[in-house]
């Protein structure tokens, strides 16, 4: 049968017919999408099931994974390795841990000469690399560094102006001015616009008067406040007397103010300020969280961080932004670096946990065939099911967060509105998705290591407890995912109004036309391995699910809003919206993983990364099998083939699991768990016990 159209005709309909014809004519040939054309994703050769995974060079893979700033991370690791007095012991009191954490940070800055603060503006990717390394030493150290430099310091340089940078930069940088970030209150966390602390301007004295009007307005969970902080950036409602309707007071919305809280010389708490300790926590006890109450505390007018709004000597308010909501959005937009850092650091925690669990699972031997040696517990399919998709996800998150850091760095240079909006949503989604995944995985890793995983020295308990709050601070994960959903719905609306889509969401333009078309009965049944491992099929499946979720939730919201109103409709569809946000973030993660695989210059390394990427993609597709089956996107035979291939890929990844975790390039000083040592694990463990 001849082709029905001339070769030059490349309409979508014709291309689809050709694909179907090729599949019918040559059922044993590679899928058309495995031949790369311009703008297409190329499938790498999969090989037969009998073939072993290509030998992988740990050095080559580690080199590709390292990124640009491995050298400074190694400086951090080497410094702390050379200072055993700064190592966090397994058992330590809260008071001792707090003092040790401050000594660790001070030594890193003053003795090792590593000054993270200058990179917050100059090179954020370098700052995040230092922060990840510090978190590898002690997660409390990484968080305390973040409070000092990203939150307290970042608020001064991002929300203030030149006069603030000139006055405070050096003291923040060298730790002469340890500080706090006082946003959260007892009654308000996520709803920042609901904060009740007030800053009322007094035109007679040219000062702001800071007040805590009730117990609900007490600043709560403020890092560095209980012991070490000397300053605080305090978020409060700016009140201007006589500027409101009828000569009353005007509430100009939430603004940030620098407030000294302790004497620089004596360290005594300053008059009018009440500080109490939030006490022992589930984790992160190296960070001294406190509560702050203000009793008519007076600060100079210059202590208003006035980048987005200012008050003149005569009490007049000026701003380049026309409304409270726009000023609030601009203020919070400058603080997204904390979310970027948490997503990046969460991957670092996951790498440590996966490394310990995989190494132990390779070492540990239990049972086996009759009259045969015992086998490694990682040879059991159940253990592979627990750990291999997790290992694949760790690689996926690694590349996704590198992309996020690059986007954030570009945004800090350009300050373009589109880039700011893109990074705001991307950082919210990745922070929420990755920290939630890591929190669940830490428990899985503990369980995968049996009784020995329960020993405190083997780290899982500490890692789990210290990391758990990552799901809450810098934005509760449920709230952050709603921000992603809001942006997706906005983009969906823009699509039908003829607007342009931001770069990260651009696939939605195509998805509305092609991904949501009726699933083709032939492609729904294709089950060949080269088709299932084709990155185009994988990415199409992820994006189809996101597009279907977006379309259906938009219809549901419109339906319910007529009866329940906007808030009621949103709440009725909330779980649907959260699922949509997670699906969208998974699509981005996979797209960046595929790009990273195809950009890898070494053939063998690329082959192994492709294997890991395929496992990540197909494990997710199988996880959502019900959705694909309900929409007839995947026929029963294809679903079964995906499941079988996922199990087989887990088996293949097990064959290179040691090399994959070794390529994280974590020194034993960082993993520290005896059962996770790169060699002689049992010897380290028995030595710790005293034998």
CA distance to 347, 657, 669, per residue, from 74 (Å): 18, 24, 11
The beta-strand segments (E) located in 14-94 are none
Residues 185, 207, 334, 474: which is the catalytic one?
Answer: 474
Whole-number Å distance between alpha carbons of 632 and 259 = 60
Residue 355 annotated in ligand binding: no
Joined together, the tokens standing for residue 153 give: 């310091």
Whole-number Å distance between alpha carbons of 564 and 557 = 10
Contacts of 49 (CB under 8 A, 6+ apart): 529, 648
Contacts of 461 (CB under 8 A, 6+ apart): 446, 454
Residue 184 annotated in ligand binding: yes
DSSP assignment of 357-377 equals HHHHHHH-B---STTS---BG
In contact, 236 and 188? CB cutoff 8 Å:
no
Beta-strand pair 231-240/198-202: parallel
Q: Mutual orientation of helices 603-623 and 574-599 as an angle, nearest 10°?
A: 160
> Residue 294 in 3-state DSSP?
strand
In contact, 188 and 196? CB cutoff 8 Å:
yes
Whole-number Å distance between alpha carbons of 340 and 359 = 29
Joined together, the tokens standing for residue 370 give: 């009759």
User: What SS3 string covers 195-235?
Assistant: CCCEEEEECCCCEEEEECCCHHHCEEEEECCCCCCCEEEEE
In contact, 311 and 317? CB cutoff 8 Å:
yes
Whole-number Å distance between alpha carbons of 654 and 369 = 19
In contact, 286 and 98? CB cutoff 8 Å:
yes
Residue 474 designated active-site:
yes
Phi and psi torsions of 357, nearest 5°: -65, -40
Picking from 385, 378, 396, 395, the residue whose alpha carbon sits closest to that of residue 643 is 385
Whole-number Å distance between alpha carbons of 277 and 379 = 49
In contact, 64 and 600? CB cutoff 8 Å:
yes
Binding-site sequence positions: 184, 223
Binding-site sequence positions for FAD: 184, 223
Active site residues: 474
């Amino acid at each position: 049968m001849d082709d029905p159209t001339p070769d030059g005709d490349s309409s979508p309909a014709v291309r689809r017919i050709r694909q179907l014809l090729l599949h019918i004519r040559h059922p044993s040939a590679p899928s058309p999408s495995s031949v790369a054309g311009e703008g297409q994703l190329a499938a790498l050769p999969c090989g037969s099931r009998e073939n072993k995974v290509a030998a992988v060079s740990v050095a080559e893979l580690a080199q590709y994974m390292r990124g640009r700033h491995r050298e400074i991370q190694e400086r951090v690791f080497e410094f702390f390795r050379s200072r055993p007095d700064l190592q966090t012991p397994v058992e330590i009191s809260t008071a001792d841990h707090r003092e040790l954490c401050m000594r660790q940070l001070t030594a890193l800055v003053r003795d090792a000469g590593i000054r993270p603060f200058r990179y917050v503006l100059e090179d954020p990717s370098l700052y995040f690399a230092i922060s990840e390394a510090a978190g590898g030493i002690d997660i409390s150290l990484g968080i305390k560094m973040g409070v000092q430099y990203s939150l307290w310091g970042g608020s001064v340089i991002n929300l203030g102006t030149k006069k603030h940078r000139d006055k405070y930069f050096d003291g923040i940088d060298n730790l002469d001015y340890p500080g706090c970030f006082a946003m959260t209150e007892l009654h308000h966390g996520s709803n920042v616009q609901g904060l009740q602390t007030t800053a009322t301007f007094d035109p007679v004295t040219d000062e702001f008067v800071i007040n805590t009007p009730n117990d609900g307005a007490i600043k709560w969970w403020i890092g560095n406040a209980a012991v070490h902080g000397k300053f605080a950036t305090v978020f409060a409602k700016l009140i201007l007397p006589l500027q409101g309707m009828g000569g009353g007071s005007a509430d100009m919305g939430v603004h940030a103010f620098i407030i000294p809280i302790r004497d620089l010389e004596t360290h005594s708490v300053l008059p009018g300020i009440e500080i109490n300790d939030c006490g022992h926590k589930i984790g992160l006890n190296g960070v001294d969280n406190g509560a702050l109450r203000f009793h008519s505390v007076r600060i100079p007018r210059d202590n208003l961080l006035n980048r987005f709004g200012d008050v003149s000597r005569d009490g007049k308010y000026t701003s380049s932004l026309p409304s409270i909501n726009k000023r609030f959005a601009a203020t919070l937009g400058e603080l997204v670096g904390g979310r970027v850092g948490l997503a990046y650091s969460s991957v670092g925690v996951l790498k440590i946990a996966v490394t310990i669990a995989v190494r132990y699972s390779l070492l540990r031997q239990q049972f086996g065939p009759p009259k045969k040696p015992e086998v490694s517990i990682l040879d059991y399919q159940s253990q592979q099911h627990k750990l291999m998709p997790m290992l694949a996800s760790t690689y996926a998150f690694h590349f996704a967060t590198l992309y996020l850091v690059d986007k954030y760095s570009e945004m800090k240079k350009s300050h373009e509105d589109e880039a700011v909006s893109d990074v705001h949503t991307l950082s919210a989604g990745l922070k929420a998705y990755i920290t939630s995944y890591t929190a669940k995985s830490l428990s899985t890793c503990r369980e995968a290591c049996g009784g020995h995983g329960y020993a405190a020295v083997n780290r899982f308990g500490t890692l789990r407890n210290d990391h758990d709050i990552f799901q809450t601070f810098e934005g509760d994960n449920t709230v952050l995912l709603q921000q992603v959903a809001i942006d997706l719905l906005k983009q969906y609306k823009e699509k039908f109004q003829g607007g342009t889509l931001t770069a990260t969401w651009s696939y939605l333009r195509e998805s509305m036309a092609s991904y949501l078309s009726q699933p083709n009965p032939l492609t729904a049944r294709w089950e060949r391995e080269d088709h299932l491992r084709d990155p185009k099929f994988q990415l199409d499946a992820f994006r189809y699910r996101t597009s279907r979720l977006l379309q259906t939730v938009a219809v549901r919201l419109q339906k319910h809003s007529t009866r329940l109103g906007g808030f009621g409709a949103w709440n009725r569809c909330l779980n649907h919206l959260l699922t949509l946000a997670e699906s969208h973030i998974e699509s981005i993660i996979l797209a960046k993983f595929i790009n990273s695989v195809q950009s890898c210059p070494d053939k063998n390394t690329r082959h192994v990364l492709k294997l890991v990427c395929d496992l990540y993609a197909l494990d997710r597709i199988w996880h959502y099998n019900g959705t694909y089956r309900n929409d007839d996107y995947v026929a029963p035979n294809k679903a079964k083939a995906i499941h079988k291939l996922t199990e087989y890929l887990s088996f293949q990844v097990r064959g290179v699991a040691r090399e994959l975790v070794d390529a994280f390039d974590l020194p034993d000083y960082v993993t520290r768990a005896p059962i996770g040592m790169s060699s002689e694990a049992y010897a380290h463990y028995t030595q710790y016990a005293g034998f």
